[in-house]
Amino acid sequence: EVQLVESGGGLVQPGRSLKLSCAASGFTFSNYGMAWVCQAPTKGLEWVASISTGGGNTYYRDSVKGRFTISRDNAKNTLYLQMDSLRSEDTATYYCARHGSGYWYFDFWGPGTMVTVSS
Amino acid sequence: IQLTQSPSLLSASVGDRVTLSCKGSQNINNYLAWYQQKLGEAPKLLIYNTNSLQTGIPSRFSGSGSGTDYTLTISSLQPEDVATYFCYQYNNGLTFGSGTKLEIK
pLDDT confidence band for A102 (50 / 70 / 90): confident
pLDDT score of A43: 86
Chain A residues touching residue B88 (CB < 8 angstroms): 45, 105-106
Q: How many CB pairs under 8 A join A and B?
A: 48
Interface of A with B in 27-56 (CB under 8 A): 44-47, 50
Q: How many CB atoms lie within 10 A of CB A7?
A: 14
Contact A65, A48 (CB under 8 A): no
Helix (H) or strand (E) holding A117, with range, is strand A113-117
CA distance B51 to B64: 5
Best mutation target among A106, A107, A108 (most B Cβ atoms within 10 Å) is: A106
What integer is the mean pLDDT of A56-67? Answer: 97
CA distance A71 to A21: 10
Chain A residues touching residue B90 (CB < 8 angstroms): 103-105
Q: How many CB atoms lie within 10 A of CB A25?
A: 11
Best mutation target among A104, A107, A108 (most B Cβ atoms within 10 Å) is: A104
pLDDT confidence band for A35 (50 / 70 / 90): very high
CA distance B48 to A103: 9
The secondary structure of A43-62 as a DSSP string is: S-EEEEEEE-TTSS-EEE-G
Interface of A with B in 66-95 (CB under 8 A): 95
Q: Does A110 touch chain B (CB under 8 A)?
A: yes
Whether residue A105 and residue B95 make contact (CB cut-off 8 A), yes or no, is: no
pLDDT confidence band for A42 (50 / 70 / 90): confident
pLDDT score of A108: 97
pLDDT at A79 over 90: yes
Whether residue B96 and residue A106 make contact (CB cut-off 8 A), yes or no, is: no
CA distance A98 to A53: 11
A80, A25, A88: which is closest to A58 by C-alpha? A80
The region of weakest confidence among A101-110, B27-36, B66-75 is A101-110
Pairing status of strand B83-89 against strand B95-96 = antiparallel
pLDDT at B98 over 90: yes
pLDDT at A101 over 90: no
What integer is the mean pLDDT of A12-24? Answer: 98
The region of weakest confidence among A38-42, B87-91, B100-104 is A38-42
Whether residue A104 and residue B90 make contact (CB cut-off 8 A), yes or no, is: yes
CA distance B80 to A49: 31
How big is the CA angle at A91 (ends B89 and B95), to the nearest 5 degrees? 5
Chain B residues touching residue A108 (CB < 8 angstroms): 45
pLDDT in tens, B15-68: 999 999 999 999 999 999 999 999 999 999 999 999 999 999 999 999 999 999
Whether residue B45 and residue A108 make contact (CB cut-off 8 A), yes or no, is: yes
The sign of the torsion formed by the CA atoms of A90, A104, A80, A63 equals negative
Mean pLDDT, chain A, integer? 97
CA–centroid distance for B57 within its chain = 13
CA distance B86 to B33: 8
pLDDT score of A49: 98
Helix (H) or strand (E) holding A78, with range, is strand A78-83
SS3 A64: helix
Chain B residues touching residue A112 (CB < 8 angstroms): 42
